Structure 1
Amino acid sequence: MIQRRHLLSALPAALAAPALLRPSAARAQEVTLRLHHFLPPVANVPRYFLTPWARKVEADSNNRIRVQIFPSMQLGGAPAQLYDQARDGVADLVWTLPGYTPNRFPRLEAFELPFIANAKAAVNARAAQEFAETHLAEELREVHPICVWAHDGGLIHANRAVATMEDLRGLKLRFPTRLAGEALRALGAAPIGMPVPQVPEALSQRVLDGAVVPWEVVPSIKLQELVRFHTAIPGNPTLYSATNILAMNRAKYESLPADLRRVIDANSGISAAAAAAAPYDDQAKVVEEMVRRRGNQISAISEQEKARWIETTKPVIAAWQSSMQERGIDGAALLAAAQALIAKNATAAG
């Protein structure tokens, strides 16, 4: 009887034990993710995409996921090392441009060829994400891609006006990707490759005469204060776009509990790519107006001149296809797929 009383008295404590463990178990499943990138927090993509994305992931997980954002390379390294930081776990998440590491992502370069991309980021971003889901599993196998996108059409921002190819001759222009550099070289410019945070110092020291970037980047590097002339490419297709990726360390993703993986998945893919595109298209108008009010000169080359540029840069596309063939990759098929996706999404966007 004494033993039975002891057993009955012990039951409430035994039944309570799992409940007492639950807070500890919940804490064990909380996770902090470090998101590393190369621009200041006030830049448009961090401000209007990365930060809202992080806060949404936190809210969707009932704050079991916390995303710490480290801007301006605060975790160390250089922008060209960000992808490897995600691969190696130096950071859990990174935003970077594949073009910072030339020839490493050859299939994705289809979107970076001259006069292939649309002028609108909303079109390019959705197309690039769809392309990634179909064609880039092998190329991006070292990380877990959250989303892939390509920005809107970039402009030529320079210390002298550009209306023709002849105006480009010898102009030292920063380019973001290998193929943008090849296109500028074909047009007569003297292209110089570097990550965008290095542009202000290079302009101040006259290492550069200008840069090709989309409007949304301009205020983050005070480009409107460093050059006075801004040249757009009219209509579609546009001169160039650069691809971007928000990538996660694969082991970190796979270590998450299933319900937290579902939160990440719900904030990945097309919906994330579309959200990433918004700052480019939305802020382009805002930044252009700000630059105009400042008194800088904004112009566009003529359609006739654009036709000359398209013809002049065709060898860049042919050389890319040849190099892809040497690597055993069907570049022509990839280019056709990219163009078809851009056309499809342009039609959908109206």
Structure 2
Amino acid sequence: MSQTEQALLEQLKISDFDIEYRKLLFSLTNEDCQLLEACKPIVEVRIDQLIDRFYERQTGVPEIAAMLGDAHALERLRAEQRNYVLGLFSGIYDLEYAKHRIRVGLSHTCVRIEPKLYLSSINMLKSLLMELIIENIADEIKRHATLKALNALLLFDVHLLIDAHVQSLMAEVEASRKQCEHFVASLERKVQERTQHLERLASTDPLTGLQNIRFLHQTMTRILRAAQRRSEYVSVVFLDINDFKAINDTHGHQRGDELLRVVGAAIQQISRLEDSCFRYGGDEFCMILPNCREAEAHALYIGRLNAALKHQVENVRLSIGIAEAAPDASIEPAELIRLADKRMYQAKRMNKGI
């Protein structure tokens, strides 16, 4: 048995107990099984004639005739139908019998035979078998009991096949649902990745790789509020490159851009993960340092930045201003930036650029 058939049996919860319960539901008794088995010799000697008559009627239905295919396919179907009919009169209707009927149902599902056409075929077969029984069983009581048994068994079969058909459709729906969910999840991931990429592009200075000033005030507000909750200081470093205009005028904008990239890389190199670093505009840079006092920024941050630049480029001097916000101070981001900017220009005027 294939994995598909085994999975379907498990989903249908087909077991020996279930088979017996289904027989009970359709009043298929042991006596009925014996009556049907007793008809087997009658059916066996007339099986070819019965199959011929069955397909003569089948080909009279245009929709069914269109699905029968070529002569080779028709011959295969005739052999399958022959086995199916003989199985009706085996007298043994157990789990193996049910598995065979479910395989028949799956084969019809695979070729997309509509239930109405399948049921019409069953009705056609039932009519032919009833004629055969009526013609060959003289005893009226036995004949009536055999017809009743045949009807119960065909209902038993049809119920199995309908269950298999419905479960197969449900499995297809579930597979489609999972496929759709996977597609939607994949699409959502792509949208999220592209959104994050666009957000990074929108918030990143393309020349230096630092953040641009678009989210500076928003970031500083968040950091200041967090620092107040944790009773921490926040320092803001504001700097620019001394004589940057002269460098541009003398050596060209390409040299100026390269110098901006070097300063940006040095800032990224010495910054902590919690620091937020921005290119403020032109040759100006702004860094927000959580949990850092002004003196620490002078001693540690500026020292590291100066050392990093010396390894990259010669004769670069920076003017730097630093301002701090105490945890209990009520200061706006713009005010703190203005204070650091003011101190940076004071340093420049006093020729104290590093």
The TM-score by the shorter chain falls in which range? under 0.3
Normalized per residue, the structure richer in strand is: 1
Larger Cα Rg: Structure 1 or Structure 2?
Answer: 2
Higher helix share: 2
